[in-house]
Chains A and B, each alone.
Chain A
Amino acid sequence: MKWNRRHVLDTDDWSRDEIEAVLDQTRAMIEILQRPIRRAPPLRGRTVILFFAEASTRTRVSFELAAKALSADVTNITASGSSVEKGESLYDTVRTLQALGGDVVVMRHASSGAPYFVAQRTDAAVINAGDGWHAHPTQGLLDAYTLRDALGDLDGKRVVIVGDVLHSRVARSDINTLVPLGARITLSGPPTLIPTAWRCGQLPPGVTYEPELDRAIEGADAVIALRLQRERQESGLLPSLREYSRVWGLTADRVARMRPHAPVMHPGPMNEGIEIDAAVAHGSSSLIETQVTNGVAVRMALLYLLVGVGTAAAVEERV
């Protein structure tokens, strides 16, 4: 399979083969990460610019570790979230990025679609590390990797995604990555936090909506709980966090209604006691820490595929 993308902006138009190529590459990267010296040379001489215009520690650090494990030079640019008001426009930032001449720009931005804006205006390969409510492709890929590892084949498997789907780039990227691999998705959550069109029959292929989590989770093969932002209550979308937690929180009772050993995932950071109980988050079915580990490998795989020198076999030889 020839993987031939110039950027990673969204996985919505990726074929199953392309997704599997990245997951296979990820497996090779995990091997590198398990070695005593976690470093391989295929990005030597390449510069990766981390441009995080929205606060994020875990994703930024994950990309930084991934780039360094492949021997890239890594540099950080931080910018204010609402750049227009604070003087420096995204347009200015892009011109700076272009002048700096990085090979890869990894970007996180509060505005949906901002990575497209950057990709159009720079020669660098752009990796979307999360844009607004739109997409978080590396999260989708690492969730797919983690689930495939845990369940084997995803064909016909039913994955529940519960919570604030409306505002969640993770939910969108999980859908776009898991469905092509054969999984079926059941969305659950309060109606105010599910896109209207998706509640009214215009669902993406492979996706259904079941408002009641108790019904959605019955016999499921896996569940992904989404982070609930506290401001949803303030903006009138939720009556109370207490009620949310009671109706849509991931409890041990609910987890027990899935198939035996069905994995529990969460993109982090968690609000323990709101969308997920501590006992579940740290229980035997939880893959939440595995997700973090796999995240580094997925990001290595993408960096390698975008700007790496040589093939996977070459990595083996040169290490």
Chain B
Amino acid sequence: MKLEGRYIETPGFMDLHAHLREPGFEESETLATGAHAALHGGFTTVCAMPNTDPAIDTPALVKEIYARAPGWAEGGRVWPIASITRGRKGKELADLVELAEAGAVAFSDDGSPVDDPRLFRSALEYARSAGRVVIEHPQDTALSAKGVMHEGAVSARLGLPGMPAAAEETAVARDITLARMTGARLHLTHVSTAGSIELVRRAKADGVPVTCDITPHHLALTDEWVAGSRAFAWEVEDEGLRGVPYDSSTKVNPPLRTLGDVRALWAGLADGTVDAIATDHAPHASTRKDVEFDQAAFGISGLETAVPLILGGVRAGWAPLTTVIAALTTGPARVLGVELPEGDHLTIDTQAEWVVTPESFFSLGKNTPLMGRSLIGRVDIAGLGLTKRGGGQRAAEAISRR
């Protein structure tokens, strides 16, 4: 590890939260394109969320992901997360012990919170016996209802239905309460509000076995982006960069929050409340996004822009480099209760400037509000041997040679 100078060297990153869409939604992403995108973004390990079609809720499907994933040989290695409930329907538990035996690294119904608290309690207790962490998307779906962005001054101005911060925080509070009661490991993914961070901070101080992650886009963008702002949280507004309001590429769940929330996320990162940075990579085919804002799918294609977004905040002095690198490496490994895979090394050019274009992405999902934007900092993909044409074989060789 070398964190000084223009070129830094770090262990490969681990992403706890990505949607690779296969099986079922291959027009948005495949395990192969997703694994390539992961490696392109510096993630040598990527955990695939099970909200596929079918949902990953049986041992056979877990094994199928391993079999189909290009994994270590052709991109970032793919680790499947299995669903908590059968079909992700929130009604009955999936066979958690057998799913773990088949290789599921964690359990999550991400995208669909387990609304029923009794079932969620069971999930926590049962997952504990399976030796895996439950990754929960904390959201009270009754309270967030038809919301399409953060509820606040910007949603009031734009006339868009809002999702209040409380819809996340009441769920965080419930989940923490159940983790405290069961003693089971709980991981809250993509927490996004100042209130959530404070709840996790207090729970950790009380010894509750809870961890959490935050996303690069929640660290860098605010709800003003829905109204057309294109200023990062640490920048002043630049009228020349302004985009069009209601751009569906800014529609994501949890929604982009206020500057106060963003600052609280960085503070949580700095003081250890936040354990990991995870991308919530959510690629979508253009047909799901090229529609009215309220009709558009939620999600940002995030694997390939994580590094420059995070480095931007580091450059602005919002957290030390060592902290964010830990949140991309040892942090997520500890959440899963595994060792960081050995032998994955990255070189990052912290000064390289590049422009986000559809062609620059390995992901099939081009849905990002950063499209067309010039960013600073990128993974040395030549060093990884990753090229569009050559794909992953050379990448694997390059990594394994080190």
Q: Which residue of chain A has the shortest Cβ distance to B146 in the bound complex?
A: A235
Q: Is the CB of A202 within 8 A of B152?
A: yes
Is B156's CB within 8 Å of the partner chain A? Answer: yes
Question: If A116-B246, A197-B152 touch, does A109 touch B157 (CB 8 Å cutoff)?
Answer: no
- The chain B residue with its CB closest to the CB of A53 is B292
B246–A84 contact, CB under 8 A?
Answer: no
B159 on the A face (CB < 8 A): yes
Complex CA distance for A196 and B164, rounded to whole angstroms: 9
B74 CB within 8 Å of chain A: no
Which of A130-138, A177-185, A265-273, A285-293 lies at the binding interface? A130-138
A209 to B294, CA, bound (A): 28
Question: Is B382 located at the chain interface by the 8 A CB criterion?
Answer: no
CB interface residues, A 88-113, toward B, < 8 Å: 89-91, 109, 111-113
| Beta-carbon contact of A133 and B153 below 8 Å | no
How far apart are the CA atoms of A198 and B151 in the complex, in Å?
11
* Least Cβ–Cβ distance between B162 and chain A, in angstroms: 8
Q: Which residues of A contact B162 (CB under 8 A)?
A: 196
In this assembly, does B316 line the interface, its C-beta being within 8 Å of a C-beta of chain A? no
Q: Are A89 and B291 in contact (CB under 8 A)?
A: yes
Instruction: List the A residue with the shortest CB-CB distance to B288.
Output: A84
Known: A198-B156, A202-B153, A204-B157. A116 touches B245 (CB 8 A): yes
Check: A34 CB closer than 8 A to any chain B CB. no
Which of A89, A133, A204 contacts B160, CB < 8 Å? A133
Interface centre among A111, A113, A135 (most CB of B within 10 A): A113
CA gap between A120 and B293 in the complex, in Å: 14
A91-B291, A132-B294 as given contacts; A113 in contact with B153, CB under 8 Å: no
Hey, what's the 0/1 contact readout for B276-290 against A, CB within 8 Å counting as 1? 000000000001001
A172 near B244 (CB under 8 angstroms)? no
Q: Is the CB of A132 within 8 A of B159?
A: yes
Q: CB within 8 Å of A: which of B129-184?
A: 151-153, 155-162, 164
- Residue numbers in B under 8 Å from A227 (CB-CB): none
For B286, the closest partner residue in chain A by CB is A91
Q: How far is the CA of A93 from the CA of B362 in the complex (A)?
A: 31
Count B-side interface residues using an 8 Å CB cutoff: 22
**Does B393 interact with chain A (Cβ within 8 Å)?**
no
Which of B286-343 touch A at CB < 8 Å?
A: 287, 290-295
Proximity string of chain A (194-231) to chain B, C-beta cutoff 8 Å, 1 when within and 0 when not: 01111000101000000000000000000000000000
Q: How many angstroms between the C-alpha atoms of A267 and B295 in the bound complex? A: 27
Instruction: Considering the complex, give the chain A residue whose CB is closest to the CB of B162.
Output: A196
1/0 contact trace for A69-96 toward B, CB 8 Å? Answer: 0000000000000101000011100000
Q: Is B159 touching A134 in the complex (CB atoms < 8 A)?
A: yes
Q: Which of B156, B246, B294 contacts A197 (CB 8 A)?
A: B156
Contacts of A30 in B (CB 8 A): none
Q: How far is the CA of A89 from the CA of B286 in the complex (A)?
A: 13
Least Cβ distance of B284 to chain A in Å? Answer: 14
Q: Shortest beta-carbon distance, A156 to chain B, in Å?
A: 24
Query: CB distance B152 to A112 under 8 Å?
Result: no
Do the beta carbons of A133 and B292 come within 8 Å of each other?
no
Name the one of A91, A112, A195, A204 contacting B246, with C-beta atoms under 8 angstroms: A112
Given A90-B292, A114-B292, A120-B244: A195 and B155 within 8 A (CB)? Answer: yes
Smallest CB gap from A134: residue in B: B159
* B159: contacting residue among A84, A90, A112, CB under 8 A: A112
Q: Which residues in A have their C-beta under 8 angstroms from that of B293?
A: 111-114, 117
In the docked arrangement, what's the CA distance between A118 and B49, Å? 35
Say whether A169 faces chain B, with CB atoms less than 8 Å apart: yes
Most interface-central of A12, A90, A131, A132 (chain B CB within 10 A): A132
Residues of A within 8 A of B152 (CB): 196-197, 202
Instruction: Please determine whether A90 and B246 come into contact, CB atoms closer than 8 angstroms.
Output: no
Instruction: Check B156 against A112 for contact (C-beta < 8 Å).
Output: no
CA distance A120 to B246 in the complex (A): 11
Q: From residue A299, how far is it (CB to closest CB) to chain B in Å? A: 21
B294–A112 touching, CB < 8 Å: yes
Q: Chain B residues near A91 (CB, 8 Å)?
A: 290-291
Residue-by-residue, is B243-285 near A (CB-CB < 8 Å gives 1, otherwise 0)? Answer: 0111000000000000000000000000000000000000000
A122 to chain B, nearest CB (A): 13
Bound CA–CA A114/B164 (angstroms): 23
Interface centre among B160, B161, B164, B292 (most CB of A within 10 A): B292
B159 engages A197 (CB within 8 Å):
no
- Report Cα–Cα, A133/B148, bound state, in Å: 13
- With a cutoff of 8 Å between Cβ atoms, the chain A residues found around residue B160 in the complex are 112-113, 132-134
A90 and B156 within 8 A (CB) = no
Complex Cα spacing A113 to B154, Å: 13
**In the complex, A112→B292 CA distance in Å?**
8
Chain B residues with CB under 8 A of A133 = 159-161
B157 CB contact (under 8 Å) in A12, A111, A114: A12
Distance between Cα atoms of A163 and B159 in the complex (Å): 15
**Distance in angstroms between the alpha carbons of A196 and B147 in the assembled complex:** 14
Q: Please provide the 6 A-B residue pairs with the shortest distance between their CB atoms, ordered closest to farther.
A: A113-B246, A133-B159, A134-B159, A195-B156, A111-B292, A197-B153
B residues apposed to A, CB below 8 Å: 151-153, 155-162, 164, 244-246, 287, 290-295
List 6 A-B pairs, Cβ < 8 Å: A111-B294, A112-B158, A113-B245, A195-B155, A196-B151, A196-B164
What would 8 more interface pairs be, CB under 8 Å, given A84-B295, A112-B160, A112-B246? Answer: A89-B287, A91-B291, A113-B292, A117-B292, A133-B160, A133-B161, A134-B159, A198-B153
